[in-house]
Structure 1
Amino acid sequence: MWLLAAATDRESLVSLVSLTQLHLCCEGIEGFPESIGFLKKLKTLKASYCTSLTRIPSSIVYLASLSLLDLTGCDTLAQLPYSIGSLLSLQHLLLSGCNSLEEIPYPIGKLASLTELHLKSTAIMELPESIGSLKELKTLDASYCASLACTSSSIGHLASLSLLDLQGCSKLAQLPDSIGSLVSLPRLLLSGCHSLREILDHIGKLASLTKLHLKSTAIMELPEIIGSTKKLKTLDASYCASLAGIPRSIGHLASLSLLDLTGCNKLAQLPDSIGSLVSLSRLLLSGCHALREIPNSIGKLASLTELHLKSMTIMELPESIGSLKEIKTIDASYCASLAHIPSSIGHLASLSLLDLTGCDRLAQLTDSLGTLMSLPHLLLSGCHSLREIPDVIGKLASLTELHLKSTAIVELRESIGDLQNLRILDIGGTHITELPSAIGMLA
């Protein structure tokens, strides 16, 4: 039975002895009556966003059938009763957005059936030691707990855990060594833990790890042992402003499909072993201002579809880039030092976007560009040193967008009339004074 209720007086609840689901949608509710304990068959109790709710009665202990307790967004709720530990059938405890909740009662460790614990954006400062007793727990979300400074060492006992989300815990400075015991953990999310300075070697024991998010942490290096996480598919270490090195062992991550190092402005070098990442489809390096060179071994990345190099200090793309047969996107925009594009770029038969916007020093394009028969998007705006477009541009049969804004080009080739699929031609801010007669062929 479902009930959307504003009234929670004793009489209305005592008479509902067969009630299995109770949804409370009233902002004026300050607390549940003690009589709620009479609802012996209740399985679902939802009181989310009851913003005036300040108390949960101890009689909740009698709800022996309760499997879901949703108190999401009850931002004036400051305390949970210790009797909550008696809810032996409880599987889902949702407390996210309880901004006044500073403590999780110790008896929570008695919730033998609990599979989900959501604590996002609460005011808790620590997780209780008893949390390690939750043997069935699969999801632990304590993200954006701005006061959370430590996690219990007992967390290593959570053998069923599949998601540990500590994103945005800005005071969290260290992970317990016991985290290495979570051998079944596939997802570890630590992005936005601004005080976290190192990832311990114990992470190498996480044999089931597929996602590791470290975005905007204070880590200075990745441990050599990271190469032991053989199932890792996603490694996001973007905007780690202190990250200065990537270990050679990264080449052992045979399952890795995404490596995101965007905005790591102290990263000066990539190891040659990066070429061993045979499953890598996306390599994101934009904003790595100290990275002056892309290793030649990048040409071995047979599965690569996206290469993002925006705002780097590279002077050239390696000749081996022509071996990336699956690549669809190359973004080398705003690489102010980029002066040379290798002729091997013409071998990239799958390329759909070549973005060289804002490459100030790029003065010439290779004639091999004309072999990119599948290329729809060529972006060259802001290439202030670029004085001409090669005649082979007319061979780009799939080209739909050609951006030449603010280049030094003074004329367009007649061959531009061969671009029958061209929809956008931007020549604003150039010194072109006359259009070729062939432009009339662009229907």
Structure 2
Amino acid sequence: MFYLMTLILSVSRCCSYVSCSKHSNVSTISSCLPDQTTALLQLKQEFAFVKPDFSGYYYRCPLVGNSHYNADIYESYPKMKFWKEEKDCCSWDGVTCNMKTGRVVALDLAYSWLQGPFPSNSSLFKLHGLRRINMAYNNFSFSLIPSDFGRLSKLPHLDLSFSMFSGLIPSEISFLTNLVSLDLSCFKNYYASGLLHLRKIDFANLIQNGTNLSALHLHQVDISSSLPESLANLSSLTSLRLGGCDLHGKFPENIFQFPKLEVIYLPCNYFLTGFLPQFQPSSSLKKLTLDYTNFSGILPNSIGYLKSMSHLILRNCHFVGTIPSSIWNLSELTFLDLSWNDFTGHHQLPSTLGNLAKLTVLSLRSSQLIGEIPFSLRNLTQLNYIDLSDNNLSGIIEFGYFSRLSNLQILSLSSNSLSVTTTNINSELPKFAILVLASCNLSEFPEFLKTQDQLRELDLSFNRIKGEIPKWFWGIGNNKLELLDLRWNELHGSLIVPPLLTSMFYFRISGNNLTGRIHPSFRKWTSFKVLDLSKNHFDGTIPQWLGRLAGSLEFLNLKENNLQGSIPLISTNGSMHNMMRILDLSHNQLRGKVPQSLINCSKLQVVNLGHNQISDTFPFWLQNLSELQILVLRSNNFFGPIWHPHKYLGFVNLSIIDLSFNHFSGSLPSEYFRNWGYMSKAPDRNKSDMASFGKSQVESNYSFAYMYSTSMMSKGLDMELMTALMIFTSIDLSNNKFDGEIPSSVGDLRSLIVLNLSSNSFTGTIPSSLGNLTELESLDLSKNKLIGGIPQQLENLTFLEYLNMSQNQLTGPIPQGGQLETFSYSSFEGNPGLCGLQLSKKCENTDATISFHSKEEESESENGFTWKVVVLRYGCGLVVGIIFGHVTLSRRSCWF
């Protein structure tokens, strides 16, 4: 009886969906309407079906652990290819119909291989009944998002993410007032620019009209504005993803208190400020991602109330204080990253770490950790990523400690006070993909590496590994090794690598004692992006085949070896798309000329050929490299002029040029620096130190950065610039044979920090336009033939820390005021005609000077402006200048 009643009920329920009786009032249709079929078939004709290739584009900030929030749950295949006219369109893959009306209500074409521009009059817009559109991860060939999407006024769900749309997002999107979820997230291109842009007013309208929004995803859309106040009204939000949008201003604190909010994803908004509030036990927050923002303040202990928290990612913010102990009680955490903050004091990894049993990622890099690694870490058997580097952890750790962590794939223990021992490992270790053991006091190559057949990236740099590289070492990773860093060990012998390692793209072995020639086995490594053999004892010539690797090679560093001969020609291999960006051949014994084939490397940002024996005229053609930022030709045998009326154009993006210690000669016209575009820009005080040059596409899972360094003269000292930043600008033309007057256009270089024109034969007076260089920290005009007085305008140089005007023919009083008062005798010696407080020769006729000031004061008092007022104003300016200078220079100190 029970089964009979169940059957009757089931049949009666069916009658509500299909016409079971002629008396039924429900009109149902079991197939889609003809106009819907026609529209879908027309839509099919609008695109080709090609599997998309997104290489060279980023779908996220390229940071550790920030995997894209939509995991690849979709199977990628051309869905529309299998749509057949003879079949009911409601049965087609990706199509959902309302079975009562026969109209299409949902279209899921994500990962469907669609290729081609999205037509502005697409047949999609004929499907007025659509309630859900998902066209993510296709390739719409950089076309604009059609404004006709705004016609689908009743649409609640729209997802066009990562489908190669570009340009301005149409304002008509804000007309979709019924939106519940919107995802317009996009890739960044090679230069880390978002493909899509959203105007500030359209962003504000979108949020103001989107009162029903539950999910707002605009990841990597270039918005470049502050957050509209109306965002605080979207109390229905469950997911907010605005990573990499160039947001600035303050993030509204009350948004953290939204009762339904589960996801806040804001990484890579470098100027977005904010604080974490006191959290409530009722909070629904599960994922909080703020890495690479300007959030600051303390981490509240109330963060322990977030019992549902699975992702806590605060990497590279500015949080201070101590890490709250309540974090170790968040038992649902699967992802914890507190790396690179400004935590103070010392933190020990607690034994309660074992409470985080679900943890898969633990990153506490540079978090002021001390003590030993607790035994409880071994209990986190779900871990696949551990980064404890750049702390002060101590003690001896036997590598067999990690044998219980069978899921562990990425491990970094570098730059601590740990001593890692790798002998007597009796149990099987996990199969590592990435292993970073830099600065771990290793004295030999770990034997356990012999069985690591999944290894892709290995860093053993800054250890004490001695001797030759054993042959078995080149077999690790089963010839799948992509990244290898052996810098700064005690390796010697020749470097012969097997040609089987064709997957290698990053290889650094600088700072060792390797000898011999650059072996031809490297020529098989056709995927090379980074090759650093610097600071060894390699000799012979640079092989010609190395020039043919420029098609893929981005960073080539061979400096400080014993290489001879000429610089090889750069071959295009039939392609003009050479990827070379940093070329450093300095501190060798290279001769000949600079090969003009370098002009094929259109992406070059750094050319350093300093400290060689190159004999050539100035390579004017380098001006055609529009991305060139650093040019060093120092200490060679270059000769002739650096200006020619028909060859000289100026350098558009140059920030550092060093031509010192050569035989360059001739005069420079007054307009010489007029076309140096980058140096002429007003300095941007808001520009982050993270805006460094040479940002590499060589991004591994561990995000190894290529830290480039170059030596330069600054403030009278030869310094090593460890990370060349675009906000550092320098000109060094010293120790040459230049004559004539110093170009007055040098005063146009408003962002200049270092200027060295010493040891030449410059004549004439010091240009008063130097007073415009308000960013200048180092000025050296010594050992020239300059005449006349020191311009009073130089008192404007409030950042000036080093000044040398010695050994000239300057005359008159040294201006008293500003930074000029702070320099000693050595800055002005060798100018018999100079006088002043810094010199033994005091200025005569002080009464006349006082009389002059009195007359000036008297005449100015007629306008109510007296000399006393000037002194008072100037004194205040100096104090402010010194304080501001201290703050700024303390920030700049990390450059050296």
TM-score, normalised relative to structure 2 = 0.33
1:282 to 483, 486, 489: 483
Q: Does 1:304 align with 2:504?
A: yes
Q: Does 1:314 align with 2:517?
A: no
Task: Measure how far apart 1:167 and its partner are.
Answer: 1.2
2:435 to 231, 235, 238: 235
Equivalent position of 1:142 in the other structure: 338
The aligned amino acid for 1:117 is L
Question: Gaps spanning 5+ residues in structure 2: where?
Answer: 1-178, 181-211, 216-226, 242-247, 267-271, 602-606, 618-624, 641-896
Equivalent position of 1:331 in the other structure: 532
Q: Secondary structure at the match of 1:304?
A: coil
Task: Measure how far apart 1:166 and its partner are.
Answer: 0.6
Decide whether aligned partners of structure 1 residues 181 and 388 sit closer, same or farther in structure 2, where only a CA change above 3 A counts: same
Equivalent position of 1:383 in the other structure: 588
Q: Does 1:205 align with 2:401?
A: no
Task: Measure how far apart 1:45 and its partner are.
Answer: 11
Decide whether aligned partners of structure 1 residues 149 and 427 sit closer, same or farther in structure 2, where only a CA change above 3 A counts: closer
Equivalent position of 1:248 in the other structure: 447
Q: Secondary structure at the match of 1:259?
A: strand
1:341, 1:173 → 2: CA distance? 49
Decide whether aligned partners of structure 1 residues 349 and 411 sit closer, same or farther in structure 2, where only a CA change above 3 A counts: closer
1:348-407, CA deviations, whole angstroms, 9 ceiling, x for partnerless residues? 7973359464345334689xx8998859778644323x5679xxx99x999947986643
Which is richer in strand? 2
Q: Secondary structure at the match of 2:473?
A: helix
1:152, 1:66 → 2: CA distance? 30
Q: Secondary structure at the match of 1:351?
A: helix
The 8 Å contact of residues 501 and 525 in structure 2, kept in 1 or not, is answered as: no
The aligned amino acid for 2:512 is M
Q: Does 1:131 align with 2:329?
A: yes
Task: Measure how far apart 1:256 and its partner are.
Answer: 2.1
The aligned amino acid for 2:312 is L
The 8 Å contact of residues 140 and 161 in structure 1, kept in 2 or not, is answered as: yes
The aligned amino acid for 1:138 is T
Decide whether aligned partners of structure 1 residues 101 and 256 sit closer, same or farther in structure 2, where only a CA change above 3 A counts: same
Q: Secondary structure at the match of 2:377?
A: helix
1:403, 1:52 → 2: CA distance? 47
Task: Measure how far apart 1:247 and its partner are.
Answer: 0.9
Q: Secondary structure at the match of 1:339?
A: strand
Q: Does 1:67 align with 2:262?
A: yes
1:211, 1:397 → 2: CA distance? 41
1:210-232, CA deviations, whole angstroms, 9 ceiling, x for partnerless residues? 332334322333645698231x3
1:217, 1:312 → 2: CA distance? 22
1:407 to 592, 612, 623: 612
2:370, 2:494 → 1: CA distance? 34
2:236, 2:638 → 1: CA distance? 79
1:174-233, CA deviations, whole angstroms, 9 ceiling, x for partnerless residues? 322232233332322223213345555432333333332334322333645698231x32
Q: Secondary structure at the match of 1:280?
A: coil
1:144-191, CA deviations, whole angstroms, 9 ceiling, x for partnerless residues? 344452233343353432321211112333322232233332322223
Task: Measure how far apart 1:293 and its partner are.
Answer: 4.1
The aligned amino acid for 2:336 is L
2:327, 2:633 → 1: CA distance? 65
The 8 Å contact of residues 273 and 297 in structure 1, kept in 2 or not, is answered as: no
The aligned amino acid for 2:464 is K
Decide whether aligned partners of structure 1 residues 193 and 104 sit closer, same or farther in structure 2, where only a CA change above 3 A counts: farther
Equivalent position of 2:871 in the other structure: none
Which of the pair has the greater relative contact order for Cα pairs under 8 Å at 6+ separation? 1
2:584, 2:262 → 1: CA distance? 56
Decide whether aligned partners of structure 1 residues 157 and 370 sit closer, same or farther in structure 2, where only a CA change above 3 A counts: same
2:237, 2:608 → 1: CA distance? 63
Q: Does 1:180 align with 2:378?
A: yes
2:615, 2:240 → 1: CA distance? 71
Q: Does 1:115 align with 2:316?
A: no
Task: Measure how far apart 1:249 and its partner are.
Answer: 1.2
Q: How does 1:210-229 map to 2 (within 5 A)?
A: 210-221=409-420, 223=422, 228-229=429-430
Q: Does 1:260 align with 2:260?
A: no
1:169 to 367, 383, 386: 367
2:557, 2:264 → 1: CA distance? 53
The 8 Å contact of residues 275 and 300 in structure 1, kept in 2 or not, is answered as: no
Task: Measure how far apart 1:275 and its partner are.
Answer: 1.0
TM-score, normalised relative to structure 1 = 0.60
1:36-72, CA deviations, whole angstroms, 9 ceiling, x for partnerless residues? xxx99885899x997998x9xxxx8xx8755358999
Q: Does 1:195 align with 2:393?
A: yes
Q: Secondary structure at the match of 1:221?
A: strand
Provide the aligned length of Structure 1 versus Structure 2: 369
Decide whether aligned partners of structure 1 residues 51 and 279 sit closer, same or farther in structure 2, where only a CA change above 3 A counts: closer
* Structure (1 or 2) with the larger CA radius of gyration: 2
The aligned amino acid for 1:204 is S
Equivalent position of 1:32 in the other structure: none
Decide whether aligned partners of structure 1 residues 332 and 185 sit closer, same or farther in structure 2, where only a CA change above 3 A counts: same
The aligned amino acid for 1:284 is D
The aligned amino acid for 1:235 is L
- Root-mean-square deviation (CA), in Å? 5.6
1:41, 1:411 → 2: CA distance? 69
Decide whether aligned partners of structure 1 residues 316 and 65 sit closer, same or farther in structure 2, where only a CA change above 3 A counts: same
Task: Measure how far apart 1:131 and its partner are.
Answer: 1.6
Q: Secondary structure at the match of 1:229?
A: coil
The 8 Å contact of residues 26 and 50 in structure 1, kept in 2 or not, is answered as: no
1:207, 1:347 → 2: CA distance? 43
2:507, 2:345 → 1: CA distance? 38
Q: Secondary structure at the match of 1:276?
A: helix
Question: Gaps spanning 5+ residues in structure 1: where?
Answer: 3-17, 28-38, 413-421, 435-443
Q: Secondary structure at the match of 2:378?
A: helix
